[in-house]
Each structure stands twice: as structure tokens, then as C-alpha cells.
Structure 1
Amino acid sequence: MPKRTTSIPVNIMANEFGLGIVIERIFVKDLSTAGIDDARKSHREDGHSFFLLEKGTVSIEIDFKRYEIKPCSVIYLHPDQVHRIITFENVTVSSWSVNEENLHPGYLKLLKSITPAAPLALNKETFSLISEAVSLGLQFFKRKSDKLYHPLLRDSCNALVALVVSQYLEQSKPADKLSRFEIITKAFRELLDADYTTAKRPVAYASKLNISAHYLNECVKDTTGYPVSYHIQQRVILEAKRLLQHSDKSVKEIAAELGYDDYPYFSRLFTKVTGMTALAFRNKNSD
């Protein structure tokens, strides 16, 4: 069994050149000849990352879900998400990654609202537009002697981000069409992603939203079919699964990192949610 690391490996993409931004286009026959075998290993990206599949086929696992990606598709990966390439054959893929410092605040907020995002098939016109925008961004990326190099690169990358985000938003319900229950549920999910290690009770989220815990639960259950407590547990357990599979931290250390001083309680919670103990999950899902 391969040796795990003390934390989930992070691919240094966005900050590879000290800019917090990178744009590239690669051509790969297969992973074994590409010199990028690390892509087979589970990892996170150091920035908000986007991949435009132009040719070939890709099979990717993202947070324990497997996706088959076909040409003329795009996918967004949040820095929290753990992923690995399973198959990668005869591929042309464009990618761009930007850290939060360089990402437009409005786009960052929208990205958080669509996380996690599944691969998205693009129509021919939109795919062509994004591909051309990538080509232009690649030209900007090479012009390191320009006086306004970094702003130019940042703005071109943000334009690419906006193009992709707009496509994801087209697949979702318009904000002005959301019901009161859906608006509150959306706000709750955003808070949950930020606060799940410190806030474990529905009342904590209700307080931040200035509503009662009962009303929050009513909104979330009506919108998703599950109560607030279910979503809190699922978010915690997702992170626990990531750490169990991709790091060598003990279950006790993971419990503490996720905000549980009561280690036995965390162990019981994991077993309740997943149907197996944390150690059984680690052994079953070893890389």
C-alpha cells in the first residue's frame, strides 16, 4: 500500500510561477507517457481550477464520485475538492487556475454557490468561444515583459472564469425565481461550507441567518428533502473521508481537526452515517 502523507497532497498549479494564476494547454497520449503520473494520485489544487476538454476522453474521480468526461466539456474544481485521474487518453485539455487573491470577489461568491460542480457539456458555439478565449489567455501568459503583465493576465483569467460560471448558472434556477425557502437554503449551504468545523448545531446557522432553528429546518427540508442536521453531518463526514483516504492522520487527529473533542462521539457518528467504522473505511479505500 502506498505511503500516505500527513495531509492531502496539493498540486501547485496556480502559484507555480508566483503569480497566483496559470493558463496552459496540454496534449497527452496517455498518462504513462505524459510525465504527469502524479495526476493519478488523489490531490487538491492550490487554486480555483477549470479544465476544458477539447479532444479525447477522461475519467476522473472527485470526492469519491466517478465522472466520464467527453470533448467539448468543462469542469470546475474548488480547492477543497480531492480528485484523481483514472484514465486519460489522446487528450487535448486547456486549464486555468487562479487563487482567491486574484479572483473577482463576485465570481468567487458565485463559484461557492455552485460547488460541487459536475462536468458540463457545452454547445458548439460556447465551446468555440471559451477555447478561443483560452488561446488569447495563453498569448497573454507568455508576454512577461509587458508593463501591465499581471493585471492583463488576471483580467483575462477572470474573463474565462466568468464564461464558465455563466454556463453553470444557466443550468440552475435564476436567483429572482428562487422561493424564500430556496434562498434560505442556499445561504445555509454557503455558511455550512465555511463553518462546518466549528458549528455543529442547526441553531448556530439559524442565528447567523437571523431566523429560528425551526424555520431554517423547515426551509432546508422542504428544499432538499433532508433536515439541517443531515447536511451538517454529511459535510463533516465528507471531509473525514478525504482525510482518512488521503492522509495518515489518526482517526483521533481527524476528529479534533473537524471540531470534535469527544473522539468516541465522532467515531459513532462516522459509523452511523457511513455504515462502517472510520478504520474500516480507510482500509477499504486505500489508494
Structure 2
Amino acid sequence: MKNDIPVYDISTFEEYKNAGILVSRFGHYSKQYLHLHSAHRHSFYHLVYFTSGSGTQTIDFQNYPVMPGLIYFMTPGQVHSWSFNTEVEGYIINFSEDYFKSFLYNPLYLENFSFFDEHSGDAVLVLPNEAREKVAALFEEILNEGKEARAFDADLVRILMLNIFIQVSRGLSLKQQSQTNSYNQTLLKSFKKLIETNFIELRFPKQYAELLYITPNHLNALCNDLLGVPAGQLIRDRVILEAKRLLINMELSIAEISEKLAFSDHSYFIKFFKKQVGATPDKFRKQDN
């Protein structure tokens, strides 16, 4: 593994004619960017739909099989790698965080789709047979729009992408769909967003409960009911995820990582990490190398 995990920006990819987006057949993309098979991060949104082939991929240290019909979604900042056993084909779209903001009145529209929430459990899923052909046809339309300049082509690409998101979202369970707009789901989503931006400074549920204008008991009950874990575990999980991401960078010492994560001393960080992961940071780093 390289000493430092690379981070790729959307400007790295210039195959598609419109700024802020890359659309490609996956086989071509995979062979052209072989360095992306190793662990890396994106500063953009990323989705892949596999139509053939096999292997594995790792997203934030979780392994998933590669198989026909599987589609996955990634948000900026996640760590990713592939390992294929056979030739793999499908479609890939990379798009910047701002790609939809000038098009949609609601800049947070993508948050309506649970698969763009890395903590939802919906980011990697196998499409039902009846949806696969429809989704593949939408990818083909997007590829065709990239072949020549035509009026409103950029807007049509955005519409086709939203169509893909909606088709995939409809394939999720009715229970998940019915929960999307509930008060508790909205509150949980707000809690997760607060964790994402404050997990280094704020480590206790009561601090987040105060920001959400609810009691700590309410927050804990909410997390236990919807996720089966207490609120504190979500905070600890996010700290551990960031620790793992930093541990990939072999140039950072354990003490430096501890300081970046605002631990009072690195010995406490080691104890915290071992309790949550079952291995010391150094052992995790050697296993992942």
C-alpha cells in the first residue's frame, strides 16, 4: 500500500463533455484507471451498476461481493477499492457535489435517497430482475447524450440520473419508503448530519440532544428503536471510521492520529480503538497493509 491514500477530484476525469460529471462503461473505466483498484477516496459522488463479472469491493473497510445486478452508491470522503476475479462490465457515474445544485431548487434533494446516506445500509444493493433492464436502459441514454452536443443535453442527463435514483429507490422495501418522511427518521437524519460535522469536538449524546432540542433519553430511545444501538455508539462508530481512514496513511504516527481526533493522549486513543475494534491501531494498520 502507498504511504498516503490518494484523494481524487472530479477534475481528474475528463472523458464526458460536461463539467462536473463522468459517465462511462465500467469495463473501459476499470482498464483505463487501474490505479483506482487500490484504496482511494473521492471528493465526489460515485455510483456503479454491474451487469457482469465477479469479485469483491471494499467500502469504508466493509467487503461486498461484485455480481450482476448489484448497484452501489458512495458519497464524498469514503475509502474504496476493487478486486475482480473475472472481466467486469457495467456503468459508472462520477459527479461533483455541485452538479445538481444549479438544477434543483432544493440543493438537499439527494438526501431524499437513503442510498446516498453511507450509514443507512442501502448504499449497496442488488436490483430486482424487473428493474435491471430499465436501469441499464437509462445508463445507455446517458452515454448517448455524451456523444454529441445537443440542446438541453446537460439537463437531460440530470433528469435521467434522477430517474435512475428514483427507480432504485422504488426497489427498496415499503417499510423503508414509509419511514422516509416520518418525524423520527427526520430527527435521526439530523443527528447523523450533526455527527458528521462535529464528531471530533462533540463525543457525548447529551451534546447532540441539546443541538436537536430534545432530551438525551429521547435521542437514545430514537436510536435504539430505529437502529438497535444507543446514540453514543453512532458517535463512537464515526470516530472509529475516521481513525481507520487515517491509519491507512502510513506517514501518520499513532500519536499524530490521536491528536487529529482530539484525544487527550495517544494511550487513551489506543485503548478506545482496541475496545471498539478488537485490535490495537498498530495491529489494524498491519492487517490492512
Task: Specify the TM-score bucket, using the shorter chain as the normaliser.
Answer: 0.7 to 0.9
Deviation at 1:183, TM superposition (A): 4.9
1:24-53 Cα shifts (integer Å, max 9, x gaps) = 11336xx7xx35431331112232111111
Instruction: Write the distance in 2 (CA, Å) between the matches of 1:268 and 1:133.
Output: 49
Structure 2, gaps ≥5 residues long: none
Residue type of the alignment partner of 1:123? P
**Equivalent in 220, 240, 245 of residue 243 of structure 2:** 240
**Equivalent in 25, 40, 44 of residue 43 of structure 1:** 40
Aligned residue number for residue 147 of structure 2: 142
Structure 1, gaps ≥5 residues long: none
Aligned residue number for residue 112 of structure 2: 110
For 1:249, what is the secondary structure of its paired residue? coil
**Equivalent in 52, 57, 64 of residue 55 of structure 1:** 52
Contact 1:14 1:97 in 2 (8 A): no
Instruction: Write the distance in 2 (CA, Å) between the matches of 1:238 and 1:176.
Output: 25
For 1:130, what is the secondary structure of its paired residue? helix
Q: Which stretch shows the higher mean deviation, 261-270 or 75-84?
A: 261-270
Residue 164 of structure 2 corresponds to residue 160 of structure 1: yes
Contact 1:110 1:165 in 2 (8 A): no
Instruction: Write the distance in 1 (CA, Å) between the matches of 2:244 and 2:266.
Output: 16
Deviation at 1:280, TM superposition (A): 2.0
Deviation at 1:12, TM superposition (A): 4.0
Instruction: Write the distance in 1 (CA, Å) between the matches of 2:96 and 2:175.
Output: 25
Residue type of the alignment partner of 2:21? I
RMSD of aligned Cα (Å):
2.8
Residue 68 of structure 2 corresponds to residue 71 of structure 1: yes
Identity %, equivalent residues = 25
Deviation at 1:182, TM superposition (A): 5.1
Aligned residue number for residue 202 of structure 1: 205
For 2:146, what is the secondary structure of its paired residue? helix
For 2:248, what is the secondary structure of its paired residue? helix
Using CA pairs below 8 Å that are at least 6 residues apart, which structure has the higher relative contact order?
1
Instruction: Write the distance in 1 (CA, Å) between the matches of 2:129 and 2:226.
Output: 33
Instruction: Write the distance in 2 (CA, Å) between the matches of 1:218 and 1:149.
Output: 48
Aligned residue number for residue 4 of structure 1: 3
Residue 105 of structure 2 corresponds to residue 95 of structure 1: no
Deviation at 1:13, TM superposition (A): 4.6
**Scaled by the length of structure 2, what TM-score is found?**
0.83
Deviation at 1:190, TM superposition (A): 3.1
Deviation at 1:133, TM superposition (A): 0.8
Deviation at 1:185, TM superposition (A): 3.3
Aligned residue number for residue 229 of structure 2: 226
Instruction: Write the distance in 2 (CA, Å) between the matches of 1:156 and 1:253.
Output: 45
**Scaled by the length of structure 1, what TM-score is found?**
0.83
Closer, same or farther in 2 for the Cα pair 1:50/1:35, shift >3 Å? Answer: closer
How many matched pairs?
Answer: 277
Aligned residue number for residue 196 of structure 2: 193
